[in-house]
Amino acid sequence: MSRTYETAEMGDLRSIIDKTSRRLQQFLLRSLQRYERKFDHATWRYIVLAWIGCLGMPAYYLIWTYWFPQQYESLPLRLAGAALCLPAPWAARLFPGRARALYLFVAATYVLPFQFTFLYLMNHGSSVWTQSLLIALIVLFHFATLWALASFAAGVVLACALFALVGDAAFISSRAVLEHLPVYAFTIVVISVSKVGRRVLANEKLAGMAQALATVSHELRTPLVSVDANVRGINRRLARGAQPTAADWHEMGEAMSRIQYEVRHMNHMVDLFLLSAAAVSEQLEADEQVSMQEVVDSVIKRYPFTAQSQRDAVRVEVRTDFTFAGKHELSVVILLNLLRNALKALHRAGKGRIRIVIDGQRAVPRLLFIDTGCGIAAPQLPLIFKRFYSYPPNSGSGIGLALCKEIIDAWKANIRCVSRELAYTIFVLEFPQLQAPPAR
């Protein structure tokens, strides 16, 4: 009975500790976020290091004096460092403008390169201070490289000058010191180069975002301009005041149809962009068994054909239906893309027809998407599945075919294109056969 009671008490205590820990973590996270919003990145980084320094300076004095005694320690040196770190959280209020930048430089120079170099020399390059100085350099060079170099140079020169006054100046040029210099130099170079790489990567991300935003703007602006033009036309007709004639009603009906088409087009593009984002995060696993004929039927029903003549240009030929591993909605998106591109090719060529062939009789089931429109030039053919590439230039978002390929690849299927300029284009989609369930 007592053991059961003790177990219950331990469970309650553990629950209280967990809740308190979570609340403390949330409080610290909110506090850090609140402080971070007030400062630029470099100032915020120094503030965090200053908090660590305020605690670390006295703590490590005790560690290196009593628990793991070193040859030399200095309480005044440590307290001066802690005193310099203490105002950091209020630096914006205490040191306006350039005074804040000067304060950060002086404090960082004293705490990192000056103090660590001086203690390294006073302890004659012991293993503890050799590694401590290396860590100080790593921390320092996470700031801007030129700023860190200036701080490093100033701190090391001052530390060497002070050591020459109070210690053995000859030790500065001894082998014990010089053999560490290549390691420190290599560390500085590696950190500086890695920061350049991160900056290049950040710039590439920004460029990609800019390109994506430009693509979205281009794709949505054109239908919005069309919607605006049709709305203005309807408003002009209604502003006349007279009873609309049969011809007026017909024109307004056509305008409303065009608006509906453009809205469907915009919805389709939004779906494309969202699915493209899902492709980046790899949410494309094939977890459904899909009938190809059902997918084609859904595409024909859902596509916003502008006129009956456009619909009549599309013919579906079912030799044998087949089932494949994929996702129904993503399959519809793939074929909507191919149908949209094929209709554009027919429009540019001013001729042609489209055939969609479902061929499940083969050892490798396939879907053929054939149009006899403008075709694709041979030099452009290898590029059509690249993200943001469109042909002709500025004729689309450039993500449709790239998204199709990403989805098809995720399903362990294959998509390829055969084309002849001014003649035809054939997209071949091949799917692995579904494995029959084992007999029971």
Whether residue 295 lies inside any domain: the answer is: yes
The answer on 268 and 289 residing in a single domain is no
What would the two tokens of residue 312 be? 């009549």
The answer on 245 and 158 residing in a single domain is no
Average pLDDT over residues 20-24: 74
421 Cβ contact list (under 8 Å, min separation 6): 374, 375, 376, 377, 378
Whether residue 9 lies inside any domain: the answer is: no
Whether residue 186 lies inside any domain: the answer is: no
Last residue of a domain, one of 179, 204, 232: 179
pLDDT of residue 247: 83
pLDDT of residue 133: 95
Whether residue 189 lies inside any domain: the answer is: no
> Do 356 and 367 meet the contact criterion of CB atoms below 8 Å apart?
yes
Average pLDDT over residues 4-19: 63
> Do 352 and 372 meet the contact criterion of CB atoms below 8 Å apart?
yes
Question: pTM to 2 decimals?
Answer: 0.51
The answer on 354 and 264 residing in a single domain is no
Structural domain count, the chain: 3
The answer on 319 and 402 residing in a single domain is yes
Structure confidence at residue 130 as a pLDDT band (50, 70, 90): very high
| CATH number where 354 lies | 3.30.565.10
Q: What is the mean pLDDT of the chain?
A: 83
Structure confidence at residue 8 as a pLDDT band (50, 70, 90): low
Whether residue 19 lies inside any domain: the answer is: no
pLDDT of residue 234: 85
The answer on 144 and 42 residing in a single domain is yes
Whether residue 227 lies inside any domain: the answer is: yes
Structure confidence at residue 395 as a pLDDT band (50, 70, 90): low
Average pLDDT over residues 70-91: 90
The answer on 269 and 300 residing in a single domain is no
Structure confidence at residue 208 as a pLDDT band (50, 70, 90): low
pLDDT of residue 209: 63
The answer on 103 and 163 residing in a single domain is yes
pLDDT of residue 158: 96
Whether residue 6 lies inside any domain: the answer is: no
Tens-place pLDDT, residues 161-203: 999 999 999 999 999 999 999 999 999 999 888 877 666 666 6
The answer on 393 and 367 residing in a single domain is yes
pLDDT of residue 53: 87
pLDDT of residue 9: 58
CB burial class (10 A; 0-12, 13-18, 19+) of residue 237? middle
233 Cβ contact list (under 8 Å, min separation 6): 251, 255
Domain that holds residue 114: 38-179
Q: Is the pLDDT of residue 48 over 90?
A: no
Q: Is the pLDDT of residue 64 over 70?
A: yes
pLDDT of residue 10: 60
The answer on 273 and 223 residing in a single domain is yes
Whether residue 65 lies inside any domain: the answer is: yes
Structure confidence at residue 286 as a pLDDT band (50, 70, 90): confident
Cα-flanking dihedrals φ and ψ of residue 335, to 5°?
-70, -30
Average pLDDT over residues 340-347: 91
Question: What is the spatial distance between Cα 299 and Cα 277, in angstroms, rounded to a whole number?
Answer: 22
- Tally of CB atoms within 10 A around 115: 24
The answer on 56 and 150 residing in a single domain is yes
Tens-place pLDDT, residues 356-370: 999 999 999 999 999
Rg of the chain, C-alpha, whole Å? 35
Structure confidence at residue 408 as a pLDDT band (50, 70, 90): very high
Q: Is the pLDDT of residue 297 over 60?
A: yes
The answer on 347 and 298 residing in a single domain is yes
Q: Is the pLDDT of residue 231 over 60?
A: yes
What would the two tokens of residue 168 be? 């053995």
Pseudo-torsion of CA 26, 32, 35, 38, nearest 10°? -100
Structure confidence at residue 263 as a pLDDT band (50, 70, 90): confident
The more confident residue out of 85 and 241 is 85
The answer on 271 and 149 residing in a single domain is no
pLDDT of residue 238: 82
> Do 84 and 107 meet the contact criterion of CB atoms below 8 Å apart?
yes
Q: Which region, left, alpha or beta, applies to residue 261 given φ > 0 means left and ψ of -120 to 50 means alpha?
A: alpha
The more confident residue out of 161 and 234 is 161
pLDDT of residue 243: 81
Q: Write b or e for each residue in 175-204: b if 16 or more Cβ atoms lie within 10 A of its Cβ, otherwise e.
A: eebeeeeeebeebbeebeeebeeeeeeeee
